[in-house]
Amino acid sequence: MSTSTTEDTGRFAWFRSLGQKGRRAFVGAFGGYGLDSYDYWVLPLSLVAITGYFGLTKAEAGLLGTSTLLMSAIGGAVAGIMADRFGRSRTLVITVAAYAFFTVLCGFATNYETLLVFRALQGLGFGGEWAAGAILVAEYCKPKYRGRTVAFIQSAWAVGWGLAVLVNTLVVSFADPAISWRIMFWTGALPAILIFYVRRNVEDAPEAKAQLKERGTFPKIFRGPILKTTLFAALLATGVQGGYYTLALWLPAFLQTGRGLTVIGTGGYLAFLIVGAWIGYVCGGYLTDYLGRKKTFVLFAVASALLIVAYTQIPNGANTLVMFLGFPLGFCMSAIFSGFGSYLSELYPTHLRGTGQGFTYNFGRAFGAVFPGVVGFMADRLGIGGAMLFGAAAYGIAVVALIWLPETVNKELE
């Protein structure tokens, strides 16, 4: 007598297939990345107020964002090694605690130099959280669902972004600009709540636990055939994040100074961008499973570059068009990230996955940080909108890097 099993093919089969432990890991990683996003966006949303309070130049303001991304490279690389040596879930707790602590300290800064140091240190946890959380969930996934599952983790970025915009709109409505930016940084303590959930409920996948004794190190990702993977994966991450963080840091300032919007008015424009971003993360995850990782990267790299040009060069007086164009811009610039978690996980074996993914993704953040920094220096001469075109060029780097990287869709993790 034979028995047959019917495969779950429902709309949320990807989530049910994780099992109870995998679903708990998903909740922990989703919350960690969403609150990571919240703490990141506090600075761009408060940048105009901070610039006025401390009397900063655009270059000094841009350095606040660049320092965060540069330090995130160190944080991500170290967290990757920690994830391979001490476990994914334990590393997740440490990184969340780090970015929450230093975000709160930013609210107590008495001068620009102190704020710069605290914001840079916040980057340590900011860079490390994604590496630990994405790997944690990827190792629970079935290969055919990995792209969309990890993409839903990426979609938490849009949720945290939206929450930050909402809280910022409320805070500036009731608080003086001299104190509102401090309040926003103090709300960065929210992620501490998540730590208790992760510690009680989240554990690593069995395969990851079994290989913790085989420790990852930096030299190992620069040897043999893995060297090529590491170099071009880092270049891919540099191009994608250079374009994205140019927009992330300078968009609120562009809308307020370049388009003449108030802080509250900016929130409405960002709503179109954020809704597009969340849908982009989710749809990009499905596309990376259907089209493959590389084709999806190329598609959205080209589209994102074109949309940055269109968004920043719309003539004055056409603000309504700017608002509606925010939806496809947010969609494409976010959808390209959907494949990162699954793709980088598939490029490395288990004992090097944290080290490789943490290094390459955050190397991209560090060198991608050059792009928003350059925009700050160029903005006085070209205007913020003109200088932001430099970010569009970053996507060309990503397309070139893909030539030397393999396709990994449906690959079983080693």
Over the stretch 77-122, which tens digit does the pLDDT of each residue have?
A: 888 888 888 888 889 889 989 989 999 999 999 999 999 999 999 9
Query: Of residues 184 and 68, which shows the higher confidence score?
Result: 184
Whether 147 contacts 339, CB under 8 Å: yes
Which of 40-49, 102-111, 155-164, 249-258 comes out lowest in average pLDDT? 249-258
Q: How far is 370 from 207, CA to CA, in rounded Å?
A: 37
- Average per-residue pLDDT for the chain: 85
Residue 1 has pLDDT above 50, yes or no: no
**Tokens found for residue 146:** 């990995």
Band (pLDDT 50/70/90 cuts) for residue 215 is low
pLDDT at 403: 95
Burial class (CB within 10 angstroms; exposed 0-12, middle 13-18, buried 19+) of 412? exposed
Q: How far apart are CA 314 and CA 208, in angstroms?
A: 50
At position 241, the amino acid (one-letter code) is Q
- Distances, alpha carbon 308 to alpha carbons 154, 244, 301, 303, 332, in Å: 21, 10, 11, 9, 10
Residue 177 in this model has a pLDDT that exceeds 60 = yes
> Exposed, middle or buried, 316 (CB in 10 Å: 0-12/13-18/19+)?
exposed
Closest CA to 45 of 308, 210, 250, 326: 250
pLDDT at 240: 94
Among the listed ranges 327-331, 332-336, 347-351, 370-374, which one has the minimum average pLDDT value? 370-374
Least confident of 138-147, 256-265, 325-334: 256-265
pLDDT single digits (tens) 340-354: 888 998 999 887 888
Contact indicator for 188, 163 with CB cutoff of 8 Å = no
Alpha carbons 260 and 404: distance in angstroms, whole number? 44
Q: Would you call 178 helix, strand, or coil by DSSP? A: helix
Q: What is the pLDDT of residues 12-64, one digit of tens each?
A: 788 888 889 999 999 999 998 898 899 888 998 898 899 999 999 888 888 88
Q: How far apart are CA 381 and CA 57, in angstroms?
A: 13
Place of tokens 């303001």: 61
Task: Give the model's pLDDT for residue 2.
Answer: 41
Q: Which residues contact 161 (CB under 8 A, 6 or more apart)?
A: 37, 38, 41, 270, 274, 277
- pLDDT at residue 220 is higher than 90: no
Q: Cβ of 288: how many Cβ atoms within 10 Å?
A: 29
Of the candidates 103, 107, 100, 99, the residue with the CA atom closest to the CA atom of residue 53: 107
**Choice among 46-60, 184-198, 381-395 with the minimum mean pLDDT:** 381-395
Q: What confidence tens digit (pLDDT) does each residue in 114-148 have?
A: 999 999 999 888 888 877 888 888 888 888 888 88
Give the per-residue pLDDT at 122.
92
Report the percentage of the chain scoring pLDDT > 90: 34
Superfamily of domain 20-200+207-402: MFS general substrate transporter like domains (1.20.1250.20)
Phi, psi for 345 (deg, rounded to 5): -65, -35
CA atoms of 150 and 361, how far apart (whole Å): 15
